[in-house]
Amino acid sequence: MHPEGVSHGFAPNFDIPEYNVLVEEARTVTDPDRRRELYTEALTIGYETGWPLIYLFTYDDRMGMHPDVMDYQVDGLGTVRFLKYVWLDR
């Protein structure tokens, strides 16, 4: 959620500058580990300030990988987006 984002209509009083700065920075970071850190910190602020959210479900992702598959990458949110870098070590 962000004051200028679409989801802001669900939380009209949720405007915390520290949170906003972290989300803005995370939007521009390409390093998955750093992006995860920023979003984790932002989410912590949201939880600690009483976010008006109720999670209805969560995902449980499991993956199996053959040892020959190399450079399989997952982004900071756990999403597979970089299959163009995958190759087989054979």
pLDDT per residue over 30-64, tens digit each?
999 999 999 999 988 888 887 766 667 667 667 77
Can you give the pLDDT at residue 63? 73
Can you give the pLDDT at residue 3? 58
Whole-number average pLDDT of the chain: 79
Q: Where are the domains of the chain?
A: 6-48
Can you give the pLDDT at residue 8? 47
Provide the 3-class DSSP secondary structure of residue 87. strand
Q: Which helix (H) or strand (E) holds 70?
A: strand 69-70
Answer yes or no: are the C-beta atoms of 85 and 71 closer than 8 Å: yes
Can you give the pLDDT at residue 35? 94
